[in-house]
A and B are shown apart, each in its own frame.
Chain A
């Protein structure tokens, strides 16, 4: 349904041109959820905004690549045609539910506006549809809630309203950019359940962007791992969480504190900071922080290569080399006593 081919996105800033997204390709099929995970600055939001070209203009340039949605290259469409797709066929939900709603209009009128701009409907019909949408997203007493202003709703409720607005045009693809990051865990659980429910009802594809590997593991079918503007691993959720052969994903998973972890167990961190995207490092972008890095990584900029069906990773290590390296790293860590330490003996 959506296919992104070799996309490059550059942002012109005062300090120089930032390679925000670099040679990215992926596909999303109807009814599927694609999770995009990465740290801040990895380019995941820029990538998602690029699909419907919401990045600031004219600072953002798309020098290469194609974004093909139902046979049309979105990068070649004129603004008018694009506007028909935005909100209608592709809708978006943002992170911050407070700043994405207009504070001076009632949520009912904001919903009705979204419905009328996208579909030919009388105001009366639109109102009925708005109430139905609010009910779909689990807002109790929707008729009365239509009269509320955004500030009268809690964060979770506002996010539900935004999802309702996104659903107004019966989209085929919903892009959710960190939809639960500003919410508490119990509310996050409600919103994730809601997304699954509306996905089934509306048979949508979802692209969900998150920095939270827990959220991704709960909701995604397929996952893209991004690092410094590149996709470094692409696979099913099980490929990524259980069968990774990519040093970055592996390190990221190890650095997570876990509910089933040991108390005071030493977390394995990734040394250093993500690279500067104005002048990225030579060779592989991750090599300055990579525990597996060799001299070769300084020279070769790895492409995404085939690992197994539907699973690819951008690393020059073969699976065997990765496994050997992993063993070596874990052995030295044990030797240094870095894995666990007992505070009582200290």
Chain B
């Protein structure tokens, strides 16, 4: 087995809540609460989850923007030390990020070319700077004459291309993409997804792709992790994940995606979850999903399930005491409603 490029071990990121005159810390928002994940070279890991599940916080700590409360992140076998300035300088070169919002992630007063050149300058790679930037622009499908334009002169899709070129400029090994296509229209979204896949193929990149759209993840990811309230609920290869998911939350999530196919839509039965995401400052005891889980039992309220292999498949991990397929789940649900 090859050494993973990135390994996350029991990562926790808690934000203090301060209140009162003395600003005493009264509680913590447990944004990421014990995540284990490993990413192999050349793979795309998709991370999905609803807002507030901690997926963006996780992304930010991987690129070194947030310091973990506990746990560790290993990159190429070495621990990322968030406090170590020099070490971070090197890591930032290897791990780059593309942000969701192509409007706020680019400096409105900088020319497109200068935005792409900025990381190169920061790392003193100024030899043939213009040529290198033009090559990057060509690679992401921007024209050479776009060099002197300002961000507002570009459309959303083109702006996202600038963001991608900037991330590529230092020849990173890993790119963390935080919802890179969710602000774009479908026709433009397809262009950007195709570009990302081409780049990965050409440059041998590893991606951590964060999205809330399960159809996009289906397209791009080799492995998928589902997060809920700061924890990974299920982790599996793409095929297994979409055909044989076992966590009640994953099943509900998949069943909630509206299909662009009216006949199928009419025929299929949906698992509609009741209730809403509990607050991450007061996560439920036991399994964090038990408050919305239609199959929760006493054990779920008391004990915390760990991420375990199902069907002796080491690549399919589920954090549930009673894993079941979507069909079993639907059958059980119809039993309870009819009986």
Contact = CB atoms under 8 A, between A and B. Distances in A.
A26 B255 CA distance: 33
B50 interface: yes
Contacts of A258: 215, 218, 259-260
Given A156-B276, A184-B50, A263-B238, A255 B254 contact: no
B242 A259 contact: yes
Given A259-B242, A269-B194, A185 B155 contact: no
B212 interface: yes
Interface in A146-192: 154-157, 184-190, 192
Interface string A243-280: 00000000111011111010111111111011000000
B198 to A, nearest CB: 9
Given A188-B258, A255-B189, A154 B219 contact: no
B261 A217 contact: yes
Given A185-B50, A185-B253, A253 B276 contact: no
Interface stretch (A10-18, A61-69, A207-215): A207-215
A255 B253 contact: no
Contacts of A155: 51
Interface residues on A, range: 35 or more
Contacts of A237: 262
A315 B270 CA distance: 37
A221 to B, nearest CB: 10
B212 A184 contact: yes
A238 B262 contact: yes
Interface string B153-168: 0010100000000000
A269 B191 contact: yes
A216 B253 CA distance: 18
B292 to A, nearest CB: 8
A184 B215 contact: no
A105 interface: no
A267 B219 contact: yes
A261 B50 contact: no
A264 B186 contact: no
A39 interface: yes
Interface in B119-165: 155, 157
Given A261-B218, A263-B218, A185 B256 contact: yes
B307 interface: no
Contacts of A186: 50, 252-253, 256, 272-273
B201 interface: yes
A214 B51 CA distance: 20
Contacts of A263: 218-222, 238-239
A157 B208 CA distance: 32
Contacts of A157: 276
Interface residues on B, range: 35 or more
B37 interface: no
B277 interface: yes
A192 B190 contact: no
Given A185-B212, A261-B215, A241 B262 contact: yes
B17 interface: no
A156 to B, nearest CB: 6
Interface string B178-221: 00000001111111011001000100000000001111101111
A218 interface: yes
B327 interface: no
Contact of B186 (A188, A252, A266): A252
A199 to B, nearest CB: 16
Contacts of B218: 257-259, 261, 263
B257 interface: yes
A187 to B, nearest CB: 7
B83 interface: no
Contact of A185 (B185, B257, B265): B257
B298 interface: no
Given A190-B274, A256-B190, A257-B219, 20 more contacts: A155-B51, A184-B51, A185-B214, A192-B258, A211-B185, A213-B260, A214-B257, A214-B259, A215-B258, A216-B260, A218-B258, A255-B186, A255-B190, A257-B215, A259-B259, A261-B219, A263-B218, A267-B194, A269-B191, A343-B201
19 contacts: A39-B186, A156-B276, A186-B253, A186-B273, A188-B258, A189-B270, A217-B260, A217-B261, A218-B258, A238-B263, A242-B262, A255-B189, A257-B219, A258-B215, A258-B218, A258-B260, A259-B254, A268-B190, A346-B201
Interface of B: 50-51, 155, 157, 185-191, 193-194, 197, 201, 212-216, 218-222, 238-239, 242, 252-263, 265, 270, 272-274, 276-277
Interface of A: 39-40, 154-157, 184-190, 192-193, 211-218, 237-238, 241-242, 251-253, 255-259, 261, 263-271, 273-274, 343, 346
